[in-house]
Structure 1
Amino acid sequence: MQRRELIAAGLAAALPSLGLAQALEKTKITISVGGKNLFYYLPLTIAEQLGYFKDEGLDVTIVDFAGGSKALQAVVGGSADVVSGAFEHTISMQLKGQPMRAFVLQGAAPQIVLGVNPKTMPDYKEIADLKGKKIGVTAPGSSTNIVANFVLAKGGLKPTDVSFVGVGAGSGAVAAMRAGQIDAISNLDPVATLLARSGDLKIISDTRRLDEAEKVFGGPMPAACLYAPQPFLDKNPHTAQALANAIVRADKWIQQAGAGDVIKVVPESYLLGDRAVYIDGFLAAKQALSHDGLFPAKGAATAYRAMASIDKKIAAAKVDLDALYTNAFAKKANAKYPKG
């Protein structure tokens, strides 16, 4: 028996990933995301490209959709396990009786830019000028739509005062703006930087900057994160921990990286044909990305206030803020990877 135990111990030492995989409740995981190429979700791509998921014993498939609302639908419909999406969706899902909990943070601020089209709105002066106009968003109901609603409300407009058009998060969004098909756009980098540099976007609200994001929302506004149905987290705590470990490592890698490092890792298609624009976009977005995967203490309350201000049903509802997120997984991940 002693010899068998020694052999087993030797195998475990030689094959640590095998032992880790056996400890996971579920090794094959599908993550849905809306606009994978965006800096908003850069930690997800870094974790995938640098093999951090594999290091944790996970076989991860990432399915990309046009926007966060469609990524959420994939999990609700059962074709994906976890969403890489905007934190505020956890609020709407709790109110629908389908509790979702965020368990590791990717974005410390929304990084969403709202701007007008200089071609179709050359005389733009204030938010009220957007009444009756077409605003491009990644997908109706996504975080870009929600942030646009919030900014519109501050200018005295209701969501019904404008027309929202889904344009995606890549070259389609750029083309729609340049062709004058939309009068304004709520989108993210690298799309925002590309349009601004070419003179096709006049920025009126920029939540890539932490100070402006806090000013707009009145507090820390958590953004991209991994969230999943509460039953998934209950049944698969070790798998959720492995996912959190990979994202926290990616968060920390990004903060230590330069733009050149990132360009070497991400797929060529992410650059939208212009490396200089991608570098500028990364530098603009870097400060708004999470440093450690932890949710700020007042983040859930800020997100709730933002959504309640534009939705009377949410304002009238009772929301359990503590049930929207947990830092338990991210804390363990930081203990395991203190330096990334």
Structure 2
Amino acid sequence: MPITRRAFSVAAAATLAAPAFAQAKLEKTKLAIAVGGKAAFYYLPLTISEQLGYFKAEGLDVEISDFAGGARSLQALMGGSADVVSGAYEHTINLQAKNQFIQEFVLMGRAPQIAIGVSTKNMAGYKTLADLKGKKIGVSAPGSSTNMIANLVLARAGLKPADVSFVGVGTASGALAALRSGQIDAMSNTDPVMTMLEQKGDVKIISDTRTLKGTQEVFGGPMPAACLYTHAEFVQKNPNTCQALANAIVHGLKWLQTAGPSDIIKTVPDAYLLGDRALYLASFNKVREAISLDGVIPEEGTRTALKALASFDPAVKADKIDLAKTYTNDFARKAKERFKA
């Protein structure tokens, strides 16, 4: 894939600067990363770091496998076919409630970037959330972050997850087709899909966490989203490898701080544009502020996530969760210092 002159100069500068940061020997250089819906803006920092060669610059040989949603990529980690997941932070809390310990070690998103919209065709008379009872709601994959956000919003209206039917539709063209063909009545999904449906008049947005303001309104505080996480034991045994991964992601976050829309278009694969470059760029401008600046997860945000999950999932008991074990900022802080993010 062609890399912009600007991107090349950034990458070249990083390569030249590398000796200043003598890196400890990596415990593991070949890594399998699982992600659920890689084309979504939710995971843009992962794609940027991959496309601009930042993983390779850290001595990593990374193979990224794309799944239909975050729940599937988590299954890959638990099943042993992935070393690390690029997924939603809240999975670390959910699993601890089941006495399984996974840990976030670099943050990519500081807002969930998930919007919920009702079909203007199937639900033309929509008035309140109660109207969703008995309806089919599209999510990236059952159990994924898009599903969790929908559960939270439904709970606020007194609806339980069992009051609706969740349908896995992915995060790309399949999601667009499912809504437009009338297979589903509403959708909880990420951009660029939601902006494309919104701008074409296919959905009416009823809940929006694509901006920091919208996230504050839905959750009452900051809500960490996309991150890299893995087994806590993996972090303990492979600190240099985790540092290299955090470096690559924070390098990508730093690039994104000043990248223009044309830089993004030239760097991501054409398939990610879903056939509409202008709408893709409109989506990017909408979610840009939701991207983490430095990879560090805010402590307040972890508390917001726990409170949100405990509000609709009886298995998550707030007083039984040790939030300190769900994340570490050690690697992100070192990467932030290195790249001046």
Q: Deviations over 1:237-260 (max 9, x none)?
A: 000000000101111111211111
Name the structure 1 match of 2:285.
283
Q: Is the Cα–Cα contact under 8 Å of residues 177 and 184 in structure 1 kept in the other structure? A: yes
Name the structure 1 match of 2:171.
169
Code of the residue aligned with 1:204 in structure 2: it is: I
Name the structure 2 match of 1:249.
251
Q: Is the Cα–Cα contact under 8 Å of residues 208 and 215 in structure 2 kept in the other structure? A: yes
Name the structure 2 match of 1:79.
81
Q: 38, 42, 45: which one pairs with 1:40? A: 42
Q: Deviations over 1:53-102 (max 9, x none)?
A: 00000000000000000000001000000000000000011122220000
Name the structure 2 match of 1:315.
317
Code of the residue aligned with 1:64 in structure 2: it is: D
Q: Gaps spanning 5+ residues in structure 2: where?
A: 1-14
Code of the residue aligned with 1:43 in structure 2: it is: P
Corresponding pairs, count: 326
Code of the residue aligned with 2:293 in structure 1: it is: H
Name the structure 2 match of 1:140.
142
Rounded to whole Å, the distance in 2 between the matches of 1:124 and 1:156 is: 17
Alignment of 1:95 onto 2:97:
yes
Alignment partner of 1:23: what SS? Answer: coil
Q: Is the Cα–Cα contact under 8 Å of residues 167 and 176 in structure 1 kept in the other structure? A: yes
Rounded to whole Å, the distance in 2 between the matches of 1:125 and 1:259 is: 36
Alignment partner of 1:182: what SS? Answer: coil
Q: Is the Cα–Cα contact under 8 Å of residues 136 and 173 in structure 1 kept in the other structure? A: yes
Rounded to whole Å, the distance in 2 between the matches of 1:188 and 1:39 is: 7
Q: Is the Cα–Cα contact under 8 Å of residues 21 and 57 in structure 1 kept in the other structure? A: no
Report which stretch shifted further, 261-270 or 20-29: 20-29
Q: What is the 5 A alignment of 1:99-248?
A: 99-248=101-250
Q: Deviations over 1:257-298 (max 9, x none)?
A: 111110000000000000001000100110011011010121
Alignment partner of 1:85: what SS? Answer: strand
- Aligned-residue RMSD, C-alpha: 1.7
Q: Deviations over 1:24-74 (max 9, x none)?
A: 000001100000000000000000000000000000000000000000000
Rounded to whole Å, the distance in 2 between the matches of 1:207 and 1:76 is: 28
Rounded to whole Å, the distance in 2 between the matches of 1:118 and 1:110 is: 24
| Structure 1 position 315, deviation (Å) | 2.8
| Structure 1 position 112, deviation (Å) | 0.2
Q: Is the Cα–Cα contact under 8 Å of residues 190 and 277 in structure 1 kept in the other structure? A: yes
Alignment partner of 1:32: what SS? Answer: strand
Q: Is the Cα–Cα contact under 8 Å of residues 136 and 185 in structure 1 kept in the other structure? A: yes
Alignment partner of 1:309: what SS? Answer: helix
Rounded to whole Å, the distance in 2 between the matches of 1:195 and 1:43 is: 23
Q: Gaps spanning 5+ residues in structure 1: where?
A: 1-12
Rounded to whole Å, the distance in 2 between the matches of 1:318 and 1:121 is: 40
| Structure 1 position 207, deviation (Å) | 0.2
Q: Is the Cα–Cα contact under 8 Å of residues 21 and 27 in structure 1 kept in the other structure? A: no
Code of the residue aligned with 1:55 in structure 2: it is: A
Rounded to whole Å, the distance in 2 between the matches of 1:20 and 1:181 is: 54
Rounded to whole Å, the distance in 1 between the matches of 2:156 and 2:253 is: 32
Code of the residue aligned with 1:249 in structure 2: it is: H
Name the structure 2 match of 1:7.
none
Rounded to whole Å, the distance in 1 between the matches of 2:130 and 2:290 is: 28
Rounded to whole Å, the distance in 1 between the matches of 2:261 and 2:200 is: 20
Alignment partner of 1:314: what SS? Answer: coil
Alignment partner of 2:63: what SS? Answer: strand
Report which stretch shifted further, 122-131 or 308-317: 308-317
Report which stretch shifted further, 262-271 or 211-220: 211-220
Code of the residue aligned with 2:104 in structure 1: it is: A
Name the structure 1 match of 2:68.
66
The percentage of counterpart residues that share the same residue type is 61
Code of the residue aligned with 1:162 in structure 2: it is: V
User: Do the aligned partners of residues 286 and 316 (structure 1) sit closer, same or farther apart at CA in structure 2, a change above 3 Å counting?
Assistant: closer
Code of the residue aligned with 2:156 in structure 1: it is: K
Code of the residue aligned with 2:200 in structure 1: it is: S
Alignment of 1:328 onto 2:330:
yes
